[in-house]
């Protein structure tokens, strides 16, 4: 097991810079998930750690040793490919034994290791099959087995369950979590699926356009997004982001949505953190922090529902306030029909403000 560190890593493919100033320290035994849209550089970063891609600049260290110029074979890391990459002409047993045979481990020792891993992954009955006779989930189990069998310094996974169907993904997600708990191996996992990221990660690394956006525990990136991109990328349904105008009022701050005169009432402290200039700031608020009520109450703004998405356990309701539109999460069937008048209040503790130009989150000084 090992600590992995990336310092000032840059990567160019021709004129395109796919990794920009990447700095990241992965602690020993940590489960890191790299999250981002396709083409954001997350897979390239993973492949650079593995040694399947060279970096243009910067250093990569594993346990303090610089490895950026070493071949993948000399870095002692394991890699699980999205396409599984099982050797088609070998049985499951031979596939798992391959990395051990490649370094010349004795037959008895090899056999013991392979069977132990197969037992952990529950694929012992499949050992004599060929990969073509396996289901997608079993193929992935074998691929993970092949990665784990030689006890690598780190386990890198490139969207390992992206090719599976939804139900199997859920199952494999739990399995990967269980394996990580049991083996406590340093793991880096790449995915574009935020549910996978949230459920697996010790820390999530969010990337966009080759730039690291935020590193943090799942609840941290969810509750305290560093910028607009993270705010809108993490969480489903997507966070509401609306341009707002602030005004001071005797008892505190008022946050006005476009075309709304009254404004939501916030604590006075907000005024020191968020500029009052017109058009500079956006309010970000998750649908679950938008509360709807059928009766008027103090501080609530009147609005009209425009769309209802019933999702079984809850509904997502679109509400128009002035010219702005907010989405709220309500109990199932709370709003009977579109066009109904409702009263909207916000959970001000969960509101975020972003600078429209830089996209950075604006926070009150603590």
Partner 1 sequence: MTDSVMTRLDPNSRAAARGWSDLTIRNLFIIPTIAFLIIFNIFPLLYSLGYSFTDFRASTNAPAKFIGLQNYRELLNDEFIWRNFTITAKYVIVSVAGQVIVGFGLAMLLNRDIPMKGLITTLLLLPMMLSMAVVGLFWKLLYDPSFGIINYALGLGKFEWLADPDMALYAIAITDIWMWSPFVMLLSLAGLSAVPKHLYEAAEIDRAGPFYTFFRITLPLVLPILMIAIIFRTMEAFKTFDLAYIMASQPTTELISIRLYKMAFLEWQTGKSSAFAYIVLVMVVAITNIYVKYLNKVKER
- Rounded to an integer, what distance in angstroms lies between the CA atom of residue 204 and that of residue 98? 32
Residues 28-67 that bind partner 1 (CB under 8 A): 50-52
Query: Are the CB atoms for 80 and 142 separated by under 8 Å?
Result: no
E strands, 209-313, where? 211-216, 240-249, 252-257, 264-266, 281-285, 290-293, 301-310
Among 34, 77, 123, 344, binds partner 1 (CB under 8 A): 77
Q: Does 224 bind partner 1 (CB under 8 A)?
A: no
User: Which residue's structure tokens are 């690394």?
Assistant: 205
- Rounded to an integer, what distance in angstroms lies between the CA atom of residue 180 and that of residue 186? 8
| Total of chain residues touching partner 1, rule CB under 8 A | 24
**Residue whose CB is less far from partner 1, 147 or 319:** 147
> Which two three-digit tokens encode residue 144?
């993970």
> Which two three-digit tokens encode residue 242?
């609306």
Q: Write down the least CB distance from residue 54 to partner 1, Å.
A: 13
Among 10, 56, 85, 124, binds partner 1 (CB under 8 A): 85
Q: Write down the least CB distance from residue 103 to partner 1, Å.
A: 6
**Residue whose CB is less far from partner 1, 53 or 318:** 53
Only one of the segments 70-78, 105-113, 196-204, 324-332 lies at the binding site for partner 1 (rule: CB under 8 A); that segment is 70-78
Among 37, 54, 73, 219, binds partner 1 (CB under 8 A): 73
Q: Does 89 bind partner 1 (CB under 8 A)?
A: yes
The DSSP letter of residue 123 is -
Q: Does 88 bind partner 1 (CB under 8 A)?
A: yes
Spell out the residues 6+ positions from residue 205 whose beta carbon is closer than 8 angstroms to its own: 24, 32, 33, 34, 35, 42, 212, 214, 215
Query: Are the CB atoms for 224 and 233 separated by under 8 Å?
Result: no
Query: Are the CB atoms for 265 and 254 separated by under 8 Å?
Result: yes
Q: Is 167 helix (H, G, I), strand (E, B) or coil?
A: helix
Q: Does 99 bind partner 1 (CB under 8 A)?
A: yes
Only one of the segments 79-87, 133-141, 224-232, 308-316 lies at the binding site for partner 1 (rule: CB under 8 A); that segment is 79-87
Among 7, 21, 81, 136, binds partner 1 (CB under 8 A): 81
Residue 93, φ and ψ in degrees, nearest 5: -60, -50
Residues 114-143 that bind partner 1 (CB under 8 A): 130
Q: Write down the least CB distance from residue 135 to partner 1, Å.
A: 19
Q: Does 284 bind partner 1 (CB under 8 A)?
A: no
Among 12, 59, 98, 168, binds partner 1 (CB under 8 A): 98
Give the helix ranges, DSSP H, for the chain: 42-50, 92-102, 107-121, 136-148, 166-183, 194-200, 218-223, 228-233, 270-273
Q: Write down the least CB distance from residue 131 to partner 1, Å.
A: 10
Residues 148-177 that bind partner 1 (CB under 8 A): 150
Interacting residues toward partner 1 by CB under 8 A: 50-52, 71-73, 76-79, 81, 83, 85, 87-89, 98-99, 101-103, 130, 146, 150
């Amino acid at each position: 097991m090992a600590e992995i560190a990336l310092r000032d890593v840059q990567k160019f493919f021709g004129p395109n810079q796919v990794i920009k100033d990447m700095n990241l320290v992965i602690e020993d035994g940590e489960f890191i998930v790299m999250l981002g849209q396709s083409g954001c550089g997350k897979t390239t970063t993973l492949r650079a750690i593995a040694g399947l891609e060279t970096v243009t600049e910067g250093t990569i260290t594993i346990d303090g040793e610089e490895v950026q110029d070493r071949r993948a074979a000399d870095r002692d890391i394991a890699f699980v490919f999205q396409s599984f990459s099982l050797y088609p002409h070998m049985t499951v047993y031979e596939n798992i034994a391959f990395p051990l045979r490649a370094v010349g481990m004795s037959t008895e020792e090899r056999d013991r290791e392979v069977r132990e891993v197969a037992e952990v992954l529950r694929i012992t009955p499949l050992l004599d099959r060929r990969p073509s006779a396996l289901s997608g989930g079993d193929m992935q189990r074998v691929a993970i087995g092949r990665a784990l069998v030689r006890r690598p310094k780190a386990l890198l996974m490139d969207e390992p369950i992206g090719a599976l169907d939804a139900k199997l993904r859920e199952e494999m997600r739990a399995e990967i979590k269980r394996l990580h708990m049991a083996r406590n191996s340093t793991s880096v996992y790449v995915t574009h699926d935020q549910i996978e990221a949230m459920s697996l990660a010790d820390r999530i690394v969010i990337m966009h356009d080759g730039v690291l956006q935020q590193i943090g525990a799942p609840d941290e990136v969810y509750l305290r997004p560093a910028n607009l991109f993270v705010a809108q990328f993490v969480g489903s349904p997507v966070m509401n982001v609306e341009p707002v105008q602030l005004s001071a009022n005797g008892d505190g701050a008022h946050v006005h949505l476009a075309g709304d005169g009254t404004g939501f009432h916030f604590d006075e402290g907000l005024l020191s953190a968020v500029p009052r200039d017109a058009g500079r700031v956006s309010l970000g608020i998750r649908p679950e922090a938008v509360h709807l009520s059928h009766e008027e109450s103090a501080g609530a703004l009147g609005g009209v529902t425009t769309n209802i998405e019933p999702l079984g356990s809850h509904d997502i309701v679109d509400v128009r306030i002035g010219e702005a539109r907010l989405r709220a999460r309500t109990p199932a069937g709370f709003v009977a029909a579109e066009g109904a008048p409702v009263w909207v209040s916000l959970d001000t503790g969960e509101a975020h403000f972003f600078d429209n130009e830089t996209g950075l989150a604006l926070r009150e000084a603590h």
